Structure 1
Amino acid sequence: MTTSVIAATGLFTPEQSITNEELVAAYNAWAERWNARHADRIAAGELEALTPSSVEFIEKASGIKKRYVLDKAGILDPARMVPHLPERSNDELSILAEMAVKAAEQAIAAWGKPVGEIGAVICAASNMQRPYPAMAIEVQQALGIEGFAFDMNVACSSATFGIKTAADFIASGSAKAVLMVNPEICSAHLNFRDRDSHFIFGDVATAVIVESAGTSGPGGWDVLGTRLKTVFSNNIRNNFGFLNRAARHDADAISDPSPLGDGKSDKMFVQQGRKVFKDVVPMVSDMIVDHARDLGLDPASLDRLWLHQANINMNEMIGRKVLGRDPSPDENVIILDDYANTSSAGSIIAFHLHQQGLETGDVGLICSFGAGYSAGSVFVRKR
């Protein structure tokens, strides 16, 4: 069987960012306005007053300190609290594809080979801009790649599922190299009027080139093994999911008792955080340990963990369970303090930015987990 190599990665980071202080100020201004509008009903016990957010609350709950976004002004406007992402014509490169192309171009430049050697493109992400035509095919055309392309969505685990799929294509001879991109506009699906989740997500795009070991040059990472798992749960859900939801932009409809203002809170990102933590941490930890042992690896001796960047408490707990001790910052990479949760892209950002200090033969783990529930593990060894 042909083995696979992660040959190169790329990262697109938006120019704009939002600190916790800025986000809290916007949320609290809106919450104060909502409470004032509904003061009579709150006094009568018909509605509960909205509780202010705080920097301390956000950092304790998540470890996040800032996030990158495509549109800062729209999010921080208390009368809007939705990113302003103007619709493009069908003849223009779509915004999601544009992000993916920028990350892909960086990966291709690092790879150093012509795009003609790429035989497939996978767009693996949580938040697709449209149902069809596939975002991957648009990216494929923009980059001038032949072969085939398709989208896949397994929420926050999409990237590891994409790497597994790419490795399978290479093993079967379907392609000698595969480009996998993860463009995530998470800010368009986040309810910035929900105190419990308004701080979670950011926007970003990542790219990975998976290549046959037979054609790969020096460097990169051998893929030692991949494993996927899904278990259905409603504890993380998004019932709508498209960028062009006009109803959501009716920012002045705050007379509606729904904090969102348009009665569609359930159509956006919703999670039962404590249930997710209780369910996912043991599921992912056990999966990693079992997978490592099946590959003949000692999980306690892993040189680096590049986990999905969900929240600091979840990542630290999984790190402790896998290594059997408190991991050092170099062993268990955390980037969510700067990037926040970027869904499928999180573990790839960590992998892309933090490979320093590792030597030939060192073994690491790329792992993702999220809605579904879904989880994916990819063990890699530095070439």
Structure 2
Amino acid sequence: MHDVAITGTGVFTPSQIITNDELVAAFNKYADLWNAENAAAIEAGVAEPKEHSSSEFIIAASGIENRYVLDKEGVLDPSRMFPSLPSRADDEPGYMAEIGCDAAQKALSEAGCSAADVDLVICAASNMERAYPAIGVEIQQLLGAGGFAFDMNVACSSATFGIQTAADMIRSGSIQSALVVNPEICSAHLEWRDRDCHFIFGDVATATFLQRDQAVKGDHFKVLSTRCATQFSNNIRNNNGYLRRTHDQMEDRRDMQFMQNGRKVFKEVLPLVSQHIADHLTDAGVAAGDLRRLWLHQANKTMNDYIGKKVLGRTPEPGEQPNILQDYANTSSAGSIIAFSKHSSDLENGDKGLICSFGAGYSVGSVIVEKG
């Protein structure tokens, strides 16, 4: 059996930003248009008028202030309210492969490695651009890596499930290294016209490079233990499964885009995640007090505050549980990796931390690491 280390991470951040105020202005214009077009039905009591949103509502509900997207214009068009991502020719790189490759190259650079050092590429994300060929294989080709690649989808836990899969292969000796890439184009499967969720998601791509501990060249985090769990629930669901809608499908079934029953998710996921982490720490022989940092899934500030307090037995100190969702919003599987990538360099040798994701499925994945 071989020891495993995370030797590099990378984050691709789109250049376009949507602030809460910009998003609210567009949504409210859309709501006004819809109310005007359906005035007769509203007057007759057949339809309910759409309420306005507000920046105050978004902050209170989520803690989100901004989000990065690949196409700002389409999202903020009140007559459209979803991104315009034109289909690319088959001989052009796909959107997910393109942004995933950017994050992967940054992770390799941080590790002091090149594509020649990669044995496996896993594209782990919540919604794939196509069914096949695998996005992971396309990223492998764009990087110029050898070995093999595949896709996996465990919604918001895809990154941590990918890390466990890669780590298990490295431990067993079947490979020496792996890139876990998380290209999340969440703007394309969010329902921007639904006041309850129109603010939740943003776009990003992250990558994590794992190697045998013996191959480490510089700073790294030893992977001490990993754990994954799933429990079926319909409370977070997307029946479509495709990234893009056409203009003709703008009034399609509501359940073909992201949907969630927020109250049930809060009630059921919080104890599930807290207990999962507690059990993982106990079985790994790590005390909660030994954790210098929690890098949690970036879905909602209230959820993270609750989990952090439950795990540590106290309110986390500033910096112990970094949030990035105020800047990036919810980026599905990439969120915990963004937090880890941006808030880990200050730790010292021997410091321990935990990466944790949770989401649709339900799914929970946790990775206990130690700075080496």
For normalisation by structure 2, the TM-score amounts to 0.98
- 1:276 is aligned, of 241, 265, 270, to 265
Q: Aligned AA for 1:77?
A: D
1:367 paired to 2:347: no
Given that 1:301 and 1:323 are in contact with CA atoms closer than 8 Å, whether structure 2 keeps it comes out as no
Aligned counterpart, 1:254: none
Aligned counterpart, 2:85: 85
Give 3-state SS (helix, strand or coil) of 1:288's partner.
helix
Q: Aligned AA for 1:317?
A: Y
Which piece of structure 1 moves more, 261-270 or 344-353?
261-270
Which piece of structure 1 moves more, 118-127 or 296-305?
296-305
1:212-291 counterparts in 2 under 5 A?
Answer: 212-246=212-246, 249-250=247-248, 262-291=251-280
Aligned counterpart, 1:95: 95
Aligned counterpart, 1:337: 326
- How far residue 306 of structure 1 moved from its aligned partner, in angstroms, is 0.3
Aligned counterpart, 1:163: 163
- How far residue 218 of structure 1 moved from its aligned partner, in angstroms, is 3.0
- How far residue 171 of structure 1 moved from its aligned partner, in angstroms, is 0.9
Give 3-state SS (helix, strand or coil) of 1:60's partner.
helix
- 2:295 is aligned, of 282, 303, 306, to 306
Give distance in 2, aligned partners of 1:217 and 1:108: 12
Q: Assess, with a 3 A threshold, how the Cα gap between structure 1 residues 92 and 263 changes in structure 2: closer, same or farther.
A: closer
Give distance in 2, aligned partners of 1:130 and 1:263: 20
- How far residue 72 of structure 1 moved from its aligned partner, in angstroms, is 0.3
Give 3-state SS (helix, strand or coil) of 2:140's partner.
helix
1:1-383 counterparts in 2 under 5 A?
Answer: 1-246=1-246, 249-250=247-248, 262-383=251-372
Give distance in 2, aligned partners of 1:109 and 1:64: 30
Give distance in 1, aligned partners of 2:169 and 2:309: 34
Number of equivalenced pairs: 372
Could you tell me which runs of 5 or more consecutive residues in structure 2 were left unpaired when the two chains were aligned: none
RMSD of aligned Cα (Å): 1.0
Give 3-state SS (helix, strand or coil) of 1:73's partner.
helix
- How far residue 244 of structure 1 moved from its aligned partner, in angstroms, is 3.6
Given that 1:300 and 1:322 are in contact with CA atoms closer than 8 Å, whether structure 2 keeps it comes out as no
Given that 2:183 and 2:204 are in contact with CA atoms closer than 8 Å, whether structure 1 keeps it comes out as yes
Write out per-residue CA displacement over residues 18-74 of structure 1, whole angstroms, 9 at most, x where no aligned residue.
000000000000001111111121121111111110101100000000000000000
For normalisation by structure 1, the TM-score amounts to 0.96
- How far residue 331 of structure 1 moved from its aligned partner, in angstroms, is 0.4
Give distance in 2, aligned partners of 1:12 and 1:21: 24
- How far residue 90 of structure 1 moved from its aligned partner, in angstroms, is 0.2
- How far residue 177 of structure 1 moved from its aligned partner, in angstroms, is 0.6
Give distance in 2, aligned partners of 1:285 and 1:26: 37
